[in-house]
Every structure is written in C-alpha cells, then in structure tokens.
Chain A
C-alpha cells in the first residue's frame, strides 16, 4: 500500500540508447491493430458501476425538512421549503404534536458538483446516489429537478454494499 515517497534521482535509461523510441512505436502499432475502446454512446451504453455518482435520488417519506443538506451544500444548489402541520395527539388528552411537510425539494444539477456531502450528511437516509446519468437538458434551467423527479430516481438506487466482515466477537471473559 505504501507508494515510494521519493522520485529517482537519475532518469531511467534503457540499455540501448534510443531503444525506448522503438518500444513506443511497437506499442502504438499494437494499439493500431487492436480493438478500439470506444463505446458508441447513443447506440451502445456503458453499464455504470453500481455506486457511480450519477444523480441524487430523494426519499420524500424519509425527509424531515431539517435543511442540513441545503446548509452543507458547497454550491447552494439545494432548495427546500416546508411547513408545519399539527398532528392530533396520539392518545386522548395528549399534547398536540407538529410535523414538517416537504413542499419543495429542488436540486439544481447545473450547479451541483457531485461531491455527495448532502448524501453523507442526511441523518434520516433520505438522499441516495443513483447511477442514472441521462438527464441532460437544452438549457441550464432544465437541470433544476424537483422532488417528483428526484423520487422517481429512488427506484434506481442500488442495494447498499454489504457490511464488511466483522471479527468474531470476543468470548465472554470468565468471572473470577
């Protein structure tokens, strides 16, 4: 894991002067006759990695309008509005509770820099990374997506990766 921290003081020289030039030519010739790596995008599509940062999906039910994501966003590209509604008491004679309702949750993907801080900071797991990437628009304003669109992408969110293997729990110590 530890990469060398120093650069070699002497430039690397091949045994025969100029041999590197011909090694390079051999490489380009080999590449010339090998299959190109190009993917013809609109016709064929690459399968993105499951955890690719394509777009941010929103679980409306989980959101509590806490605004943490909007405040942590370095670009200020998240717009949230909500209001409180009073809930009837759970038991007769109990106190009236208030609940936040999400009115607006917009992410401006023209501003978003895909840092993922909002996803990390969300305490209620309402934001997720989805590998979807085909949501381009004709003008930057088309990239402002509302909560309806964001929650559609929720279906494309992959399963979270399995937990790392934990070591065996230590055997309970015997009481003296």
Chain B
C-alpha cells in the first residue's frame, strides 16, 4: 500500500479519535461538575442531556474575533496554542490502542512520550511571555516553575515500571503485564503493575500528571482569583479553544499513558486484545479521567510554596526510594 495513504489514514483516525475524546471529556466535566454540585448542567442543547453543548460552544468560539494585543509578540503569541495542541498530539502517537493499532511502536516509547509531553511547557511559557501582560507573564513563569518541578517525579515514577518491565516500549510494557505473575492451579494470573508493587509509582504519576496538566489542585498558573486567567488571559476565540482542547486532550492522553504503564493498557484478562483493546484502553483512561475531574471539583488549590514543597520534598524522594526498592527486588527475585 502507498505509504502516504497509510500516513494520511493514520492522521485522520488519530485526529478524530483524539478530538472526539477531548470533546467527550469536556462534556463529562460539565456534567459531572454540575451533578457534584447538585445541579443539572447543560440540558437543552441537542434535545437530550445537552449532548451538543460542547459542539455548540466550540462553534461559538470559532466565530469570535481573533484578537492579538498591541503589546503582544505577534508570531509567538499566535504560535503558542498550536504548539500546545501539537505537544498533546505528539504524545498520543505512541499510545498503543491494541498490539497492532499504534501510531508508532518506538523502542523508547515511554521516553519519547515524556519528552514530547514537555513541549506543552514551552507552549505555556511562550503564551505567558508573548502576551505582553503582567498577569500572563506571572502565570507563565509559575507554569514554568511548576512543570519543571513535576516533570521530575513524573519521569522517576515511570522508571520503576521500566525497570520492572525491562523495556521502554509501550507495547512491550503492556505485554509484560499480560504475562502471568503466579499460577493458581493451572491458570496463570497476570497482574497490572499497580498491583505488582508499583502503587506508589502510580500515585506519584497521577499527582504529577495533574500538575503537568495545570488542573486543580495544581492550577497556580491560571489562579483566576490572583492572575485573572494566567497565561490564558489574552487569548480569545479559536486560540483559546486550542488551549482548551490541549488541556482536555492532554487529560485523555495522560490517563491513557497511566493506564498503559500501571493498569495493563489494552490488555484485559479474557478479552481479545486485537479487537477489544481500544475499548479496554479507552475505558481505563476514561476512569482515570473521571478521577481527575473528581479531584478538581472536590479539592481546594495549593499555595505556590506548598506546591513546590510537595514536589521537591516529598514526591522526588519517594520516587527515588521507589526506584531503589524496585531495582533491588528486580535483582533479588
């Protein structure tokens, strides 16, 4: 088959899946947050349950004027939202939906994912710096400090899994989790890594992922009571939508990576991974996404110094200990 056709097909599928997932998560956040506050949320748009609400809202944003402030650094200001979406899409490439349905099965998949995920940091710094607004600048710098602080525990939490699986390939990590850990009679019982002692790594990964996504309780960069909207202050219309898309798509992508690393990815005992893999993976990712939404609408925000102290004084040392213990046990057992 023509290689360009394959690439085009993969592109269309990836964009459709990713954007639909982002829309679903946006809608879920509206509805879940509403019901958690004893409200209904979107109701009339689309005729039933307000299902078309997010679509209508995106069309509304698309119609808005594309404003660039006079003091802004134009090209950088315009490019920042695209970089943000690009970073999110770049990470999604290596997530395996099934043993064969994967954008690129890299040998260093998880390494690549973490590296590409850091691109969003650049986008936020670009947005904050180029807006020509002190609130944006403060938000951008806070985001920079926060994302650097939490990149470290994120990577260190993954290292434990990589040691245990003995591979960095995302498919390889899932395959390693589908191997039986022990035998009950003649039936081999496979366990995801979260049940194989990586629970600490899982918790650290989820906390760091929340911080990377700049969501409550880690939303210091957009702290709307202090910084208007942080690095998003000057954005309107389609560029704001792109940031929003990157945030919600990023939630799905981060949850998918967490489920690949810790929850067994597309593997589920008794289900054919080739056919049911995508649904299993998306199901696991959506559960984790729900937990992220749940955190957001329950917990208050951290203070800036608490946020830094959590990362450097707690998460990094615990992650290091986790690596040491995992490596020791891997050698001994």
Please determine whether B38 and A29 come into contact, CB atoms closer than 8 angstroms.
no
User: How distant is A35 from chain B, measured CB to nearest CB, in Å?
Assistant: 8
| Interface assignment of A21: CB less than 8 Å from any CB of chain B | yes
Contact B38 A36 (CB under 8 A): yes
Per a CB cutoff under 8 Å, which of A27, A33, A36 touches B34?
A36
Q: Is B294 an interface residue (CB 8 A)?
A: yes
Q: Is the CB–CB distance between B299 and A24 below 8 Å?
A: yes
**Interface flag for A34 (CB, 8 Å):** yes
The residues of B that contact A6 with a CB separation of less than 8 Å are none
B298 CB within 8 Å of chain A: yes
Determine the chain A residues whose CB is within 8 A of the CB of B40 once the complex forms: 36, 38, 40
Give the chain B neighbours of A24 by CB distance below 8 A.
Answer: 298-299
List which A46-66 residues lie within 8 A (CB) of chain B. Answer: none
Contact status B38-A31, CB under 8 Å: yes
Instruction: Report the bound CA distance from A4 to B43 in whole Å.
Output: 43
* CA A25 to CA B34, docked complex, whole Å: 15
Q: In chain B, residues 295-315, which have Cβ atoms closer than 8 Å to a Cβ of chain A?
A: 295, 297-299
Chain A interface mostly: helix
Whether A32 pairs with B35 at a CB distance below 8 angstroms is yes
- B294: which of A25, A34, A38 is its contact (CB, 8 Å)? A25
Does A171 count as interface, using CB distance less than 8 angstroms? no
* Distance (whole angstroms) from the CB of B44 to the closest CB of chain A: 10
Q: Mark B272-297, 1 if CB is under 8 A from A, else 0.
A: 00000000000000000000001101
The total number of A-B Cβ pairs within 8 Å is 35
Measured between alpha carbons, how far is A21 from B298 in the docked complex, in Å? 8
CA distance A36 to B32 in the complex (A): 11
- Taking residues whose C-beta sits less than 8 angstroms from the other chain, chain A's interface range is 10 to 19
Chain B 41-55 near chain A by CB (<8 Å), digits 1 or 0: 001000000000000
Question: What B residues does A38 contact at CB under 8 A?
Answer: 38-40
* Chain A CB within 8 A of B100 CB: no
Q: Is A1 an interface residue (CB 8 A)?
A: no
A32 and B32 contacting across the interface, CB-CB below 8 Å: yes
Query: Given the complex, which residues of A lie within 8 Å of B37, measured CB to CB?
Result: 31
- Could you tell me if A31 and B299 are in contact, using CB atoms closer than 8 angstroms? no
> A100 contacts the other chain (Cβ, under 8 Å)?
no
Query: Are B39's CB and A37's CB within 8 A?
Result: yes
Question: What string of 1s and 0s marks CB contacts (under 8 Å) between B12-44 and chain A?
Answer: 000000000000000000001011111110010
Residues of A within 8 A of B43 (CB): 40
> What is the bound-complex CA distance between A64 and B110, given in angstroms?
85
CA of A37 to CA of B40 in the docked complex: distance in angstroms? 8
Instruction: For chain B, residues 31 to 84, give those with C-beta under 8 angstroms from any C-beta of chain A.
Output: 32, 34-40, 43
Known interface pairs A21-B299, A36-B34. Does A29 touch B294 (Cβ–Cβ under 8 Å)?
A: yes
Smallest CB gap from B36: residue in A: A28
Q: Say yes or no: A25 contacts B298, CB within 8 Å.
A: yes
A1-43 Cβ-contact flags toward B at 8 Å (1 or 0) = 0000000000000000000010011011101111011101000
| 10 sample A-B contacts, Cβ–Cβ < 8 Å, listed by A number | A24-B298, A29-B294, A31-B35, A31-B38, A36-B35, A37-B38, A37-B39, A38-B39, A38-B40, A40-B40
Known contacts A25-B298, A28-B294, A32-B35; 20 further A-B pairs (Cβ under 8 A): A21-B298, A21-B299, A24-B299, A25-B294, A27-B298, A28-B36, A28-B297, A29-B36, A31-B35, A31-B36, A31-B38, A32-B32, A33-B35, A34-B38, A36-B38, A37-B38, A38-B39, A38-B40, A40-B40, A40-B43
Q: Which A residues form the contact surface with B (CB < 8 A)?
A: 21, 24-25, 27-29, 31-34, 36-38, 40
Leading 7 A-B pairs by shortest Cβ distance? A28-B36, A38-B40, A37-B38, A28-B298, A24-B298, A32-B35, A32-B36
Q: Which residues of B contact A (CB under 8 A)?
A: 32, 34-40, 43, 294-295, 297-299
